Structure 1
């Protein structure tokens, strides 16, 4: 179990994350929701220790993650894989090599530097790609792929780390609807097939409801919602997003208000009655 106790990250006078406490069960798929600047990315980066907490602790099965340094910290990052919005692939390298980068913690340094990957590592990487319908692209340069394809390669790379947790930071923010679905399906597959705990920052509430077992809502760095999708009413969405609630719930925008002094247009008049 992942336990967060009073986690805080302060930048000058501003608290990006403010006293967040959580317990995340193994094998769950958790959506982290909230406005831009709510603290979602900072929270995930602290869990991976890419950012250090100002206060509080992170515990995983009794291990104090906030106290890790050096080799033990690198081992933790291998167990807690990170997926970024911008994919973080090496564009000039082929897809297979990018995925094999996820095996760096499992191979001697001299072997990985010389790209002397074992047959087992290569088989694992190809299996990960094929599980996301990307096996036929193994020899292609990463920068020749679409955004959705690159993100699936990034998920395959995370998978070959053999992680216990995947942290996905806005993984579909720049993707079209079709690729959004493919990437979210890939994360769901990693969660359901391999039992990997997934924490995923999302902007769309409809997407969060469709894929996540549990939703965590942040506002100004504070935890303001923790529940299931059906608990997320429009009132709660307004608390989280204010005027953005309609947009993130994928509802059409409200019609514009009439000009001052203008007469309301009746439905019959609009139809030419």
Structure 2
């Protein structure tokens, strides 16, 4: 169980996240919604400890995440994988090597620097690529891929870390509707087939309603809604988004969760 207890973050005189408390059950798919500047990205980055809280605590099981340092912090980041809007791939390297970077916590530093990956690591990486329909791109440079393909590579890299939690920060913000559905289906697939908890910042309410078990609405750094997607009525959404409500309630980009239900689990990718 991931628990946030009164977590806050200030940047100079601005409060980005303000006393957020929440619990996330294992295997849940949670959408974090709200207008730009609501604190969604800062919240995810605090969970991964890319940003340190200025107050409050983050706990996972009996571990106080806010106190982790050194090797323990590195291990936490491996178990709590981040997926970014900008993909964060190494463009000059091939797709398979980019995915294998997710195995760095499982190999010694010298072997990683020399790219001396084991057959098992390669099998795990290729299986992850196959799961998302891009195994045939393994030898291509990452910077030669489309945006949707790059984001699927980033998800495969996160999966081979063997995470307990995946944090996706606006993973579909720069994608067209078709690739948006493909990427959201990929996230839902790892959630349903491996039981990985997914926390996903989303701009579209229709996508959030279609894919997530639970929605958390943020405004000015605070949680102002926490409940099932069905409880997020249009009136509540208008209160949450104000003038942006029409933009984020665009049904043209919606995709039902059933799209991701038919994939089979590859044996080489760790659960």
Q: Which residue of 2 aligns with 1:197?
A: 197
Task: Say which SS state the counterpart of residue 30 (structure 1) adopts.
Answer: strand
Q: Which residue of 1 aligns with 2:110?
A: 110
Q: Which residue of 1 aligns with 2:264?
A: none
Given the alignment of the two structures, is residue 130 of structure 1 paired with residue 122 of structure 2, yes or no? no
CA deviation digits over 1:236-258, x for unaligned, max 9?
11121001111101169xxxxxx
Structure 2 Cα separation of the partners of residues 170 and 239 of structure 1: 21
Structure 1 Cα separation of the partners of residues 243 and 152 of structure 2: 33
Structure 1 Cα separation of the partners of residues 62 and 169 of structure 2: 25
Q: Which residue of 1 aligns with 2:154?
A: 154
Q: Which residue of 2 aligns with 1:93?
A: 93
CA deviation digits over 1:152-211, x for unaligned, max 9?
000000000000000000000000000000000000000000000000000000000000
Q: Which residue of 2 aligns with 1:40?
A: 40
Structure 2 Cα separation of the partners of residues 240 and 69 of structure 1: 37
Structure 1 Cα separation of the partners of residues 114 and 14 of structure 2: 45
Q: Which residue of 2 aligns with 1:56?
A: 56
Task: Say which SS state the counterpart of residue 36 (structure 1) adopts.
Answer: coil
Structure 2 Cα separation of the partners of residues 53 and 22 of structure 1: 15
Normalised to the residue count of structure 2, the TM-score between the two structures is 0.92
Given the alignment of the two structures, is residue 188 of structure 1 paired with residue 196 of structure 2, yes or no? no
Task: Say which SS state the counterpart of residue 174 (structure 1) adopts.
Answer: coil
- Misfit runs of 4+, over 6 Å: none
Task: Say which SS state the counterpart of residue 21 (structure 1) adopts.
Answer: strand
Task: Say which SS state the counterpart of residue 238 (structure 1) adopts.
Answer: helix
Task: Say which SS state the counterpart of residue 90 (structure 1) adopts.
Answer: coil
Task: Say which SS state the counterpart of residue 56 (structure 2) adopts.
Answer: strand
Task: Say which SS state the counterpart of residue 53 (structure 2) adopts.
Answer: coil
Structure 1 Cα separation of the partners of residues 31 and 78 of structure 2: 21
Normalised to the residue count of structure 1, the TM-score between the two structures is 0.91
Given the alignment of the two structures, is residue 218 of structure 1 paired with residue 218 of structure 2, yes or no? yes
Structure 2 Cα separation of the partners of residues 10 and 235 of structure 1: 30
Distance 1:123 1:168, change over 3 A: same
Gap runs ≥5 in structure 1: 253-273
Structure 1 Cα separation of the partners of residues 239 and 107 of structure 2: 48
Gap runs ≥5 in structure 2: 253-271
Structure 2 Cα separation of the partners of residues 172 and 88 of structure 1: 14
Q: Which residue of 1 aligns with 2:169?
A: 169
RMSD: 0.8
Structure 2 Cα separation of the partners of residues 165 and 212 of structure 1: 15
Given the alignment of the two structures, is residue 6 of structure 1 paired with residue 6 of structure 2, yes or no? yes
Instruction: Determine which structure has more spread, i.e. the larger CA radius of gyration.
Output: 1
CA deviation digits over 1:11-51, x for unaligned, max 9?
11111000000000000000000000000000000000000
